[in-house]
A and B are shown apart, each in its own frame.
Chain A
Amino acid sequence: MYTHNKNHRNGNPRKSQWSISKDEEKLCFDCSKNNQWLNEFDGWGLHCPQGDILWLGWTQGGGKQTFIAKFVCAKGNKPNWHGYPANHQKHVHDIPDTHILNKWLQEKLIKPAKIRKIAKGQTCTL
């Protein structure tokens, strides 16, 4: 099950904000699931409706655009996922796991230079 978290759509300056629609957010999650970019309790996603990766949201306080989504699963009887635009520069746990970065690298989804910047928590534009 996937739930949209309103805190990431209500302009809350302390939360990152989606710039894509709710439908696109759900498609982004489905894409992560289909590509096995999800672990048991967390995962990462990209918004690439036509093949090219596009921006999907803004970091806290409208600071910077971001193209990586982070998904988390609440522990319970049934998996209940929600997601938010990741801020890999500010929050080290928003950096995708190494095996996921490797998939993005091997599948040539993201240029190697961008992968390095994400892994090191550096400024990274599309």
Chain B
Amino acid sequence: MHPLKLTIQGHFWDSYLYEGRLYLFGRDGEITTVNWRSLIGGVKLKKKYELALICAFLRSDFLYGIDLKLLFSDSEIKDVVMRKFQGLSNNSLEVSSQKLKKHTISTQDNPCFFPHSDIEVYNRNIYVASKDGLMSASCNKKTKYGISSRPEKKWDGPVTGMSASYRTLAIAAGDEGLYELPLGPDWDGMNGDEPSRLSDGICNDCSWAYYSIFGSSFESGFLASYRQQQDSDRVFSREFDGIIPAHQIFGSRGFSWGVHDKLCQAVGSGIKVVKYSPWYDDDRNFQEMGIVSLEDWKGEIVSASVASFGVVVEAENAIVVFPSAGPSVTFEGEPINWRIFPRSKNYENQLHIIYDDRLEIFSFNHDYLVDQESKISGVYTRADRDRGKRKVSINSLQDILNN
């Protein structure tokens, strides 16, 4: 099934979708905050495509629901749902700059580093990083602009990539290594702590593999391994276990990366995938899943990540998605930036790619039907994963717009 595409015209540097707001970082140094729900709600479509539109762009978690597994085991129901996505993909979803204005909450001068190397949003704070350091600003919907115009500098060290989870910001600092910054008891990152170094190995980017952190590097990479501890009050904490070099995990060296349960390494013939299950104490914690073939290979890897819908690899002149089901999808051309949201509740099916004059938002909607236990390409996904058993109840698009 082809991904759905929504195009937003403009000259952007980066984009981030969080709690119903789309933050667009312009290349002229401005930030535009857009009401994402109203933008999608304003798309004029036949009523029969509403379900597909909601799942594609507003509530990626909806069709992952455990209760829907039984429903999808019925092939007729499955076909009806797939036809809705197919029908929606025949509609052109274009957002002109005029239309974008209609849904814009604020436009402001960028008060943080620009051009940044990475951004991350966690607990209604945005973290903006560059070689010159790390800044944070609130984006709690209480400030005049989408992002507070008074950011706080958190660190002077260089940052090439970062990722937040478990009340901690993981920071990749190139040849200075991998750091982590506690985001404080109130999850606000304002407790004045300095980042602490976990490894002095080269780390160009980092991602969370459950409660551990995978440090990605062009030379190889490593896993900063953690155990999860539970005290007598049933409160969980992370205990540092040590650094595991990538060659010990994969049995070979090469550019490697990992998200949640899927650790990947580029090898000659494709991408080697290892399933990571940190709760095992034996050799089941690293299980080789197989190799994803690289038929559509486009040269040296620039960057890579893993989403629920598949493995995403950026080569010099293309982005290639190896979906959890079906053939690979190639997006030709050198992107200015790209981003996925593997830890998002509602947007984990999206791939944002920025080109010279537009942002293209792709929505992949095949993974709901894939067996999550056995899939090789893409992280394990379930609606209640890491979130408690949330009850999904949506009757219409209006329900989402009202929330």
Contact = CB atoms under 8 A, between A and B. Distances in A.
Interface in B332-367: 334-337, 356
A123 B114 contact: no
A79 B295 CA distance: 54
Contact of B132 (A97, A105, A120): A97
Contacts of A125: 316
Interface in B175-192: 175-176
A90 B131 contact: no
Contacts of B114: 98, 102
Contacts of B158: 92-93, 95
A116 interface: yes
Contacts of B335: 113
A117 B160 CA distance: 10
A92 B174 contact: yes
B160 A120 contact: yes
Contacts of A75: none
A120 B176 contact: no
Interface in A68-126: 89-93, 95-98, 101-102, 105, 111-113, 115-117, 119-125
* Residue from B13, B115, B173 whose CB has the most chain A CB atoms within 10 Å: B115
Contacts of B337: 113, 116
Given A92-B131, A123-B301, 15 more contacts: A95-B158, A98-B113, A98-B116, A105-B115, A113-B334, A113-B336, A115-B115, A116-B337, A119-B130, A120-B205, A120-B303, A121-B117, A121-B160, A122-B303, A124-B302
Contacts of A95: 131, 158, 160, 174
Interface in B138-188: 158, 160-161, 173-176
Interface of B: 13, 27, 29, 113-118, 130-132, 158, 160-161, 173-176, 202, 204-205, 218, 300-303, 316, 334-337, 356
Nearest to A90: B175
A123 B316 contact: yes
A101 B302 contact: no
A89 B29 CA distance: 25
B219 to A, nearest CB: 8
Contacts of B218: 89, 123
Contacts of B160: 92, 95, 119-121
Given A117-B302, A119-B131, A123-B301, A112 B204 contact: no
B116 A91 contact: no
Contacts of A105: 27, 115
Nearest to A93: B158
A97 B302 CA distance: 21
A98 B316 contact: no
A25 B83 CA distance: 62
Contacts of B316: 123, 125
Contact of A92 (B27, B118, B176, B356): B176
Contact of A119 (B29, B117, B303, B356): B117
B204 A102 contact: no
Sorted nearest first, the 4 A-B pairs with minimum C-beta distance are: A92-B174, A119-B117, A121-B160, A98-B130
B115 A91 contact: no
Contacts of A97: 131-132
A103 to B, nearest CB: 11
A102 B115 contact: yes
Contact of B336 (A89, A93, A101, A116): A116
Contacts of B176: 92
B132 A98 contact: yes
Interface string A10-30: 000000000000000000000
A124 B174 CA distance: 15
A92 B157 CA distance: 10
A71 B248 CA distance: 38
* Residue from A102, A112, A117, A124 whose CB has the most chain B CB atoms within 10 Å: A112
Nearest to B174: A92
B70 to A, nearest CB: 44
